[in-house]
Chain A
């Protein structure tokens, strides 16, 4: 039969267990808004005291309420959403470059060049009109240069961002491997590793935002972290990635190998900031630059060809208006007003023959007519049509990307909400728990006082 002292023992254990429960509740409340914190539940179980019946309670430890499936989905959704929004940021800045609404864009500068040729035709012998042709050509060159330079600078910046991202991935991999080691040590010593596990989950989620990340547990119970299809953390060992450029200037992602060198994994890069950077830089930006350069090249070449046929007021001919390379590569950045005509308005070739200077306007008309001629995109479009197409394609790429960002962020917040629902702290719940453990603690205290009174009664009776 259980004695009074056992009642005291049970009450003591109950006090310990309920205060443990209060502690866990307090911990949950304290971390209610800590990112990556996974709610804990105090695990209590009955305890058999020796051979006697009427056992007490004991706190076995903590349980982290997690769900691997939801965590993996959150990692994946984070990667996809981060890729979409990273790409969209670059597209937004490209789009702003081509915003003609204010009348200061490349399109307006292009229109002004041809309008200046029209004005020259009306008044071929007027110095101001000639100077205006040079001014319009100069403004077109400035806009083309500025646009081309900004695009080129963006490309360089994105390479740097990609490098920073790869560095962060490598850094995270080191941190995860270190946490794995600490978790293993803590488990060996029988300590609670929940906080470390929270941190590791949070680091992996963070890594998912940088690059597509997949995790699984191998046969030995080690957590394996794979990025872009390659294992970067295996147990307590961390690998690393590096960045290089292909011959065509596009980004090349390598998994470093232990013996030196690296194997290319670019084709497996599907998510995270790095994927967004790559798509924006090597696809979107590349496409816009190429179209812009082609347009600038086509316009400048057509103007040069026609201009060279004409004769300046000084009787000279065969001159170019623009300096342009032999191909469209970097045409927008490298475009200049040719030294043939720079600062020499009289050299603008309005007339078609040396015998029709200074009043001849045939060539000025021919120059202005280039505007209506299909000189762009393989002689299939006028310059204005090609520019309109460029604007349209930039606009629709950005619009698609915005939709993509919205869709992906909706998916992400749904998954985050699932994750929260599973692992997040509910203050309401904790308030109930707090009361529950408080009441139990108070009741256990009451048990001690009851046992004490009984003991007193007994002692008084026996002692009398």
Chain B
């Protein structure tokens, strides 16, 4: 075959430019540690990465949701614990009041203590968390309990998506814990009954109210247990989501990241090839016969 200078130049140019472009790509891969820089680098991996990052974004959103609602749930649990303790004190006062040897004055003192407990309890039931009143249902901006103990809230659940198949309620229901709205006992009514019985120095009424106080306390304890279960659920979901998080990150790295050792050795290989190609090109271009004449 007849070989002309132009053919030599063309082949040198095209070989060098092909090698340079492969070397540049390998250098980028080695420098960034990313194998899929553009969708065309690996279309299947790019599509998978897009879906994984969507899934990852959802996992991140769920974890931050869990963190955001956990604080209020913990606050609700400790509030209910205090409420339950207060009811225990109320029960003791009721039992003391039931003692037949007590006089009207002593019962009046006990009544004052009961009133104190009732006021404290209203304060607890009106606890505010990071997103408004804890025990008002969805009426987070309205004080759930008036000073008379009347309920102004509702029994709406605060639902969020924490990765379970159905959205989960993460609030403690004030309606269920403190009121008769959901078919339970009116805790403040029960305290009022005890207070009235003690104030009116009526041992029979005191004995009757003791039962109500007991039931109210159980009701609050049950609510506390319920929010405890919710907290466990949040923790369990968080560990599921954190495992997913880890798995997603790992898969994303597997799919999209460059193997450092491989990327480096490819780069070195291409660097050498490029150097060699340059020196070979030089000798090819030096070959021209006319230089010898």
Binding site of B, secondary structure by majority: helix, strand, loop or mixed?
helix
**Contact mask B52-64 → A, CB, 8 Å, 1/0?**
0111011011101
Q: Check A122 against B132 for contact (C-beta < 8 Å).
A: no
Q: In the complex, A125 Cα to B68 Cα: how many Å?
A: 13
Q: Check A388 against B47 for contact (C-beta < 8 Å).
A: yes
Tally of A-B Cβ pairs under 8 angstroms: 208
- Which residues on B sit within 8 Å (CB–CB) of A299? none
Q: Check A431 against B4 for contact (C-beta < 8 Å).
A: no
- B204 contacts A by Cβ under 8 Å: no
- B40 contacts A by Cβ under 8 Å: yes
Q: Check B7 against A424 for contact (C-beta < 8 Å).
A: yes
Residue positions of B touching A, CB distance < 8 A: 1-7, 9-11, 14, 34, 36-44, 46-51, 53-55, 57-58, 60-62, 64-65, 68-69, 130-132, 136-141, 154, 156, 158-161, 167, 288-290, 293
- Which residues on A sit within 8 Å (CB–CB) of B60? 115
- A421 contacts B by Cβ under 8 Å: yes
- Which residues on A sit within 8 Å (CB–CB) of B34? 101
- Which residues on A sit within 8 Å (CB–CB) of B2? 421-422, 424, 426, 429
Please name the residue on chain A nearest to B39 by beta carbon: A395
Choose one: B49, B54, B61, B160; the contact of A361 (CB below 8 Å).
Answer: B160
Instruction: Quote the shortest CB–CB distance from B259 to chain A (angstroms).
Output: 18
Instruction: Quote the shortest CB–CB distance from B39 to chain A (angstroms).
Output: 3
Q: In the complex, A426 Cα to B2 Cα: how many Å?
A: 8
Please name the residue on chain B nearest to A399 by beta carbon: B40
Please name the residue on chain A nearest to B160 by beta carbon: A121
Q: In the complex, A371 Cα to B54 Cα: how many Å?
A: 9
Q: Check A413 against B132 for contact (C-beta < 8 Å).
A: no
Q: Check A99 against B50 for contact (C-beta < 8 Å).
A: no
Q: Check B4 against A356 for contact (C-beta < 8 Å).
A: no
- A8 contacts B by Cβ under 8 Å: no
Residue positions of A touching B, CB distance < 8 A: 32-33, 91, 95-96, 98-101, 107-108, 110-112, 114-115, 118-119, 121-126, 351, 355-362, 365, 368-369, 371-372, 383-385, 387-389, 391-396, 398-399, 402, 413, 416-417, 420-422, 424-432, 435
Choose one: B4, B40, B49, B65; the contact of A119 (CB below 8 Å).
Answer: B65
* Additional A-B contacts beyond A358-B140, A420-B7, A427-B288 (14; CB < 8 A): A95-B38, A108-B57, A110-B54, A114-B57, A118-B65, A356-B137, A356-B156, A358-B139, A365-B160, A372-B58, A395-B46, A425-B4, A428-B288, A428-B290
Instruction: Quote the shortest CB–CB distance from A85 to chain B (angstroms).
Output: 13
Please name the residue on chain A nearest to B57 by beta carbon: A111
Q: Check A111 against B54 for contact (C-beta < 8 Å).
A: yes
Q: Check B50 against A387 for contact (C-beta < 8 Å).
A: yes
Please name the residue on chain B nearest to A382 by beta carbon: B54
Q: Check B46 against A391 for contact (C-beta < 8 Å).
A: yes
Q: In the complex, A431 Cα to B288 Cα: how many Å?
A: 10
